[in-house]
Structure 1
Amino acid sequence: MRRFAILSLLALVPFVSAVSSQAYTWKNVKIGGGGGFVPGIVFNPSQKGLAYARADIGGAYKLNSDDSWTPLLDFANDTIWDYWGVDALATDPIDPNRLYLATGMYTNSWDPSNGHILISTDQGKTFTPSALPFKVGGNMPGRGMGERLAIDPNSNNILFFGARSGNGLWKSTNFGATWTQVSSLPSTGTYVPDPTDTTGLNSDKIGISWVTFDSTSSSSGKATPRIFVGVANQGSDNIFMSNDAGTSWTALQGTNTSWIPHKGVLSPAEKSLYISTSDGAGPYDGTLGGVYKYNITSGAMINITPVSGSDLYFGFGGVAVDLQKPGTVMVAALNSWWPDGQIFRSLDGGNTWSALWAWESYPTLNRNYAYDDSLAPWIGPDETASDITMQIGWMMESLVIDPFDSNHWLYGTGETIYGGHDLLKWDTTHNVTLKSLADGIEETSIQGLISPPVGPPLLSSVGDVGGFVHTDLTKAPTTEFTNPTWSSSSDLDFAGNTPTMIVRIGTGDSSEGKQVALSYDSGNTWSQDYGAADNIEGGKVALSANGDTVLWLSANGGVLVSQYTSSFTAVPTLPSTATAIASDKKNDSVFYGAAGSGFYLSTDGAKTFSVTKGGLGSSTSPVKIVVHPNITGDVWVSTDKGLFHSTNMGSSFTAIPGVSEAWAIALGAPAEAGGYPSIFAAASIGGVGYFRSDDTGATWVQINDATHGFGSASANVLTADPRIYGRVYIGTNGRGIFYGDKA
């Protein structure tokens, strides 16, 4: 038996005060909730109103009485950034103050760290980590299965956790402090989504799908003997039952073993286990599947799949039972990509079902719901016309009914949380209200930020969403970037002399149009740049001072330039290894680039570049170039070997003392009118953190604290407000955008 011990609490939130600190107030720039996958939502069965949600890259959240959510893991910093990947959660049915989270982002080489079980005894206000001897995959395939972590409902010192990667089933008898592997389970899971994937993302074993205790098989104070475990196998036994608290196991027969069990949800009053299955691990795949009901008393496994034949073109994910109304069960299509997602509801234990929508006759669709996106109006559309698709959602692995309120339900999608407070109307008028209810779950991955000196205070490039004009930081935008609309965008920039001119870059392909767009009114309207070639996308962009020239360091087409929206042409004199570019904010002809330890200058509108005499020390990976808004040639460069400053177009550089590594940097409003801009940096200055200098790097103050770590510093982006001294914006990889002001 392998064992491991709990870590010191001091290891949980390291905070190095290498320089003086200044108190900052941090708030999310409100996008309205959503923007990412919510694979798990769990209600506590003992305390009314207590519920938690987990995100694949955005941490965990606690539900508030006003339907908003409070983030619990914002302390995650560069050392423990992978805490934002939550692969399972469990809330204690005996002691509702206890909460457990299984954290870790990837099981492949992208995340070098083993996972943890985070233990809270105060509903997530504080955590103590218990180290696992293997990795956990909160952002891996199959992350919507579960829950993999379960608390014994009769003896809450006992927990079981189902691991990935063939690591099997684990048990704790001391509230998660130490763990022992359960070697008697017949299978640890053999299914991998794609054995040929050399990255390890899709070629790792999914492992254990879920763990469910049968609370009716024991009484309080005694270990629950009956436990069910779902395992990611195809073509072999994949659901197992123990009647001796996990000492021995038998396979449950009667399901289609070519389909993987995604959920196993107990209905105590019925003494039944409801099981959803799909032929893929999810969350993106799944073209076939079924729903089953296991009668614990009789041992019968009954197929209760809501649809069959040509109507069955998806697998099943989320399952919910109504503890107030035994026999009421709901199940979600994991991925019904067209014309919409689908949810089914039964009042008689799965004998008969009704659906959230149905064809009247093609192409007319009867939608049995109203739609309310008032908290995140950009999600839209508000209409319920028959030709509108994908309103209900996709990647629907989490589906729950409040155990104290049959009207209250929630389900997670690939973009947000939906639900409402009128679920019982489904059974009468058959017209419920689907409402976006993810307020506070800012789960977006931010790729780029700009804060121009005029117009809206902030514009963002966002993965999986596209991006926004943020005219009011406290209100959700009404719409994403449109015309053109891309699923993701990688970067944007403004023209220094005409800052209402904006350029943005998409990360799609030719099906989403050419991936360069221009705006002449601060992002309110856009026009596609037809000079861009098809199938070139992503990367970084710089717009010349007058807005006539676009320099594009693309992800797959090299370095390109275009003037007056003409066809983009290659720039061979800026190395293909370049990792950073920028435009001068005053001189329309001047651009800058960096590759390795070399700094490159163009004085002919980015047509040609030459390496300057001033180098970037021993740098191998420049990250960001920022330019003084009013002085040509005054540039800053962040690199893996420190922070460098030039006042002469790169002819010479000064390495800023004390900065050993720097990632995102930004220039903001000066401390005094007419003074030099404040510089902000995500950097290592005696320790990794976020810093501000008002004297060109001579001294620094640390502006983040132990409760605001912002995840991985190297993955984040910064911009600073040129109109408000001290204000900085941090775009994170999973928790949206924060803005900070001096407290």
Structure 2
Amino acid sequence: MKRPLLLNALLLSLCAANIVAMPARAAGPAYSWNNVKIGGSGYVPGIIAHPGQQGLFYARTDVGGAYRYNASTKTWTPLNDWISSAQFNMSGIDSIAVDPRDPNKLYLVGGIYYSGGNATLMISNNQGNTFTLVPLGFTAGGNERGRQVGERLMVDPNQGSVLFYGTGNYAGSASSNGLWKSSNGGANWSRVSGFPALSSDGTGAGISFVAFHKGSGSAGQATPVLFAGINTKTAEQTGSKLYKSTDGGNNWSPVWGGPGGLQPQRGQIGPDGNLYITFAAWTSSTDGNGKVWEHYGPDGLTKGQVWKYDIANNQWAYITPWSSNNTNGEYSWGFSGLSVDPSHPGRLMVNTIDRYDSQGETAYVSNDGGAHWTDLVANATFDSSAAPWNTVYGPIHNLGNWSASVLDPFNTSHAFVTSGGGIMESNNLTAANPAWAYGENGIEETVLNALISPPPNQYGATPLISGGGDVCGFVHNSVTTAPSQPFSNPTCNNVTGMDYAKTNSTFVVRVGNDAYGAVKHYGAISWNGGYSWSAFNSNGTAVDGGGYVAVNADGSSILWAPKDAPPAYSNNNAYSWNSLSGVLPNNVRIVADGYNANLFYAYDRNVGTFYASSDKGATWAATNAGLIAWGDQLAAPAGQGGDVWLVTYTGLYHTTTSGWGAWVKAPGVTQAGALGFGKAAAGASYPAMYMEGTANGVWGIHRSTDGGNTWVRINDDQHQWYGTNHVITGDPKTFGTVYIGTNGRGILYGTSAN
């Protein structure tokens, strides 16, 4: 029932490269954690095979850590779920390397953004089961432009204690950009003073690859000859795109020749003594403010070529695969992906990048050093059954954008190809009609922005409905089977907000961004629990969409707070909108009361003011102007009138009087990022609460079964997922079940009998 509003609001006053050990596992209730199955849905810029152990592959993602392939189960195992929220910068894997002479050794360079601070080297002696962390003296950009190049990190194939790493060209890291070397297995690093190649002007990917010429040395001694590709504007203009060292990496000089006006993407040396390199040219564009942007990948690459450099004879050879779409000797796409088979001389595979013609991205394989090529897509078949939602715009007929590849050194019929959406695999590569299928089982990289777990209705007991980045969203009828299709009608790329009517869960509303439709639709309504959608009749006050949305308890009113415009409400299923300009600030956090259909709430995080509406969003009053500012979320449990929680960086604050009166801080909680509700524990009257934050002095995922008075951590130090994306909800159907939306590890769900 509606609670009375009080007259007066009460105000609340509210590195040096030292080896670092990973934190110990914390005790907690028995929880089992698994991914809600979607399948890929994120960029996998690099993939490698260990040349000495059959079936051992590693893949790196730009925002979701690294994975190891399990050949016996044909699944991928995540290796970095232990990364905490404080270590978030490590979640973007910039480069990955193995010691060719030791199948247990694995090295990862973690650094998601150049601006996120210095990178970290992760060293494993057991194929990624555990790691030792080494803070590095330079930055890395696992999710920056140019991340399609590689590999920047390499281990000397003759002496495994020697490693080299080539940085990006970020202007803000000029003092540390360049080529770095370790002579003691990665424990300590120093910048190579004799490597003068980087301009540090922010152009290009920087050092795009490092390659050791194994044949120039002998086992147990440092390899004397190695190469580095340079992907900068200066290198393009001067022709100094490739550098060579003959003294183990101490001194370097340019290797002249090869293509002009192109930037090296990837380079590898084969057992035939040739250095193979993929090339592409940048493009540029001008934004609405007149700023010119250089596109050096993974988008905007063109004029691709493939070359090989005969190291012994200092000779270049043009070996680009031929296509009928070659116009005046140039392609409208680039070449980037490259895999040189270490076991079969002259065998290599290359991938196109940014190919948007009728065929789309393809790969070519050669068995004679590039003299002849076979198109691996032209006559191929594609099996999308492992992630059928990918066919919403038509059958799969190519390998996906921004591809990289790896040939199996033990099986010439087997290869993986990565893309902006995951991984494909072929087990009959040498056949006249190669068969490709999704080979990404276990890789979940969706970035989640919204999760709801509605109670059962006449359309079923759907466990979960999700909204994410790049993929729009899904109804998950099963957490173990990939959805058959994403949201459609209208088109959508990002869902930023989603809600349902608490007394009528068939009524669901979503808002977001639309990068695909000729006519932009930024929101939609479902009357059948998310199975089908109808676009808002208009975009209301929104300019570019996005923001937050709330639906009142019976579904008769919708409140929308776009990111870039004044909030608006609709009492007629979004056929028309009423602007709240001058009434509520832009970009407020909003929530509907969980019981009373007349009540909405809003919070201005810039100044800490709380607002309430008792007439379905038409009029508003500031109930409390003294709350803490910069909170992240408002949350209201279903079935509880006047009950609202404010999620902030200093803790959780609670009102049971619609914000009119005192707010009470939850004991023991000193920081909170997200809050959700699920089925109450046996004998409890208040919903179970699930929080991402710090309680009892420990960050984690916490649960309360007594209305927030006490909290227990339900994850552990091996399941932290780089923090979350501040998205969490409990399941109203099953006590103990919780869903977590991450920033690159998909959706995690936890279950427990406790």
> How does the TM-score come out when normalised to structure 2?
0.89
The answer to whether the aligner puts 1:153 opposite 2:157 as a matched pair is yes
| 8 A Cα contact 2:80 2:721, kept in partner | no
Question: Partners in 1 of 2:146 and 2:255 — Cα distance?
Answer: 22
Question: Partners in 1 of 2:707 and 2:595 — Cα distance?
Answer: 20
* Aligned counterpart in structure 2 of residue 483 of structure 1, from 484, 489, 494: 489
What SS does the aligned partner of 1:80 have? helix
Question: Partners in 1 of 2:712 and 2:222 — Cα distance?
Answer: 53
- For residue 452 of structure 1, what is the amino acid of its counterpart? P
* Aligned counterpart in structure 2 of residue 708 of structure 1, from 719, 726, 729: 719
Q: How many residue pairs align between the two structures?
A: 699
Partner of 1:200: none
Q: Deviations over 1:485-504 (max 9, x none)?
A: 21221121111111111111
Partner of 1:353: 373
| 8 A Cα contact 1:574 1:600, kept in partner | no
| 8 A Cα contact 2:17 2:137, kept in partner | no
| 8 A Cα contact 1:266 1:274, kept in partner | yes
Q: Deviations over 1:190-231 (max 9, x none)?
A: 5635xxxxxxxxxxx632111011111111111111101011
Partner of 1:562: 570
Q: Deviations over 1:255-279 (max 9, x none)?
A: 23421111001111x2101100111
Partner of 1:632: 641
Partner of 1:106: 113
* Aligned counterpart in structure 1 of residue 357 of structure 2, from 338, 347, 363: 338
Distance 1:69 1:616, change over 3 A: farther
What SS does the aligned partner of 1:79 have? helix
Question: Partners in 2 of 1:442 and 1:530 — Cα distance?
Answer: 34
Distance 1:63 1:251, change over 3 A: same
What SS does the aligned partner of 2:304 have? coil
* Aligned counterpart in structure 2 of residue 7 of structure 1, from 7, 12, 19: 19
| 8 A Cα contact 2:684 2:705, kept in partner | no
Partner of 2:184: 174
Partner of 1:599: 610
The answer to whether the aligner puts 1:50 opposite 2:69 as a matched pair is no
Partner of 1:309: 327
Question: Partners in 2 of 1:399 and 1:629 — Cα distance?
Answer: 48
Partner of 2:231: 232
The answer to whether the aligner puts 1:247 opposite 2:254 as a matched pair is no
The answer to whether the aligner puts 1:129 opposite 2:133 as a matched pair is yes
The answer to whether the aligner puts 1:287 opposite 2:302 as a matched pair is yes
* Aligned counterpart in structure 2 of residue 732 of structure 1, from 728, 738, 742: 742
Partner of 2:710: 699
| Structure 1 unaligned spans of 5+ | 194-204, 358-366
Question: Partners in 1 of 2:52 and 2:364 — Cα distance?
Answer: 26
Shift of 1:527: 1.0
Question: Partners in 1 of 2:734 and 2:392 — Cα distance?
Answer: 35
Partner of 1:589: 598
Shift of 1:247: 2.0
| 8 A Cα contact 1:13 1:76, kept in partner | no
Partner of 1:222: 221
Percent of aligned pairs with the same amino acid: 37
Shift of 1:569: 2.7
- For residue 646 of structure 2, what is the amino acid of its counterpart? V
| 8 A Cα contact 1:74 1:708, kept in partner | yes
Partner of 2:279: 277
The answer to whether the aligner puts 1:623 opposite 2:632 as a matched pair is yes
Partner of 2:622: 611
Q: Deviations over 1:584-636 (max 9, x none)?
A: 233222111111322110111112211114x563x111212221211221111
Shift of 1:305: 1.8
| 8 A Cα contact 1:191 1:232, kept in partner | no
Question: Partners in 2 of 1:102 and 1:352 — Cα distance?
Answer: 36
Which runs of structure 2 are paired with 1:425-574 in the superposition (5 Å)? 425=431, 429=432, 431-454=433-456, 455-508=461-514, 511=518, 513-533=520-540, 535-564=543-572, 565-572=574-581, 574=583
Question: Partners in 2 of 1:178 and 1:265 — Cα distance?
Answer: 25
- For residue 133 of structure 1, what is the amino acid of its counterpart? G
The answer to whether the aligner puts 1:689 opposite 2:700 as a matched pair is yes
Partner of 1:197: none
- For residue 216 of structure 2, what is the amino acid of its counterpart? S
Question: Partners in 1 of 2:341 and 2:180 — Cα distance?
Answer: 29
| 8 A Cα contact 1:486 1:512, kept in partner | no
Question: Partners in 2 of 1:537 and 1:74 — Cα distance?
Answer: 32
The answer to whether the aligner puts 1:118 opposite 2:122 as a matched pair is yes
* Aligned counterpart in structure 1 of residue 269 of structure 2, from 266, 270, 286: 266
Shift of 1:86: 0.3
| 8 A Cα contact 1:590 1:602, kept in partner | yes
| 8 A Cα contact 1:539 1:553, kept in partner | yes
| 8 A Cα contact 1:579 1:623, kept in partner | no
Shift of 1:443: 0.6
Q: Deviations over 1:285-343 (max 9, x none)?
A: 20223111101121101111224425611111101223444223221111102221122
- For residue 151 of structure 1, what is the amino acid of its counterpart? V
| 8 A Cα contact 2:594 2:643, kept in partner | no
Question: Partners in 1 of 2:670 and 2:730 — Cα distance?
Answer: 22
| 8 A Cα contact 1:344 1:354, kept in partner | yes
Question: Partners in 2 of 1:381 and 1:571 — Cα distance?
Answer: 37
Question: Partners in 1 of 2:17 and 2:200 — Cα distance?
Answer: 28
Q: Deviations over 1:618-662 (max 9, x none)?
A: x11121222121122111111223211111111121111222221
The answer to whether the aligner puts 1:90 opposite 2:97 as a matched pair is yes
Partner of 1:362: none
| 8 A Cα contact 2:180 2:189, kept in partner | yes
The answer to whether the aligner puts 1:651 opposite 2:668 as a matched pair is no
The answer to whether the aligner puts 1:667 opposite 2:666 as a matched pair is no
What SS does the aligned partner of 2:679 have? strand
* Aligned counterpart in structure 2 of residue 405 of structure 1, from 406, 411, 414: 411
Partner of 2:285: none
> How does the TM-score come out when normalised to structure 1?
0.91
Deviates more, 1:338-347 or 1:455-464: 338-347
Shift of 1:573: 5.3
Deviates more, 1:65-74 or 1:637-646: 637-646
What SS does the aligned partner of 2:654 have? strand
Question: Partners in 1 of 2:743 and 2:556 — Cα distance?
Answer: 32
Question: Partners in 2 of 1:557 and 1:573 — Cα distance?
Answer: 11
* Aligned counterpart in structure 1 of residue 385 of structure 2, from 369, 374, 396: 374
Shift of 1:673: 5.0
* Aligned counterpart in structure 1 of residue 65 of structure 2, from 45, 59, 69: 59
Which runs of structure 2 are paired with 1:33-44 in the superposition (5 Å)? 34-44=40-50
Question: Partners in 1 of 2:361 and 2:199 — Cα distance?
Answer: 28
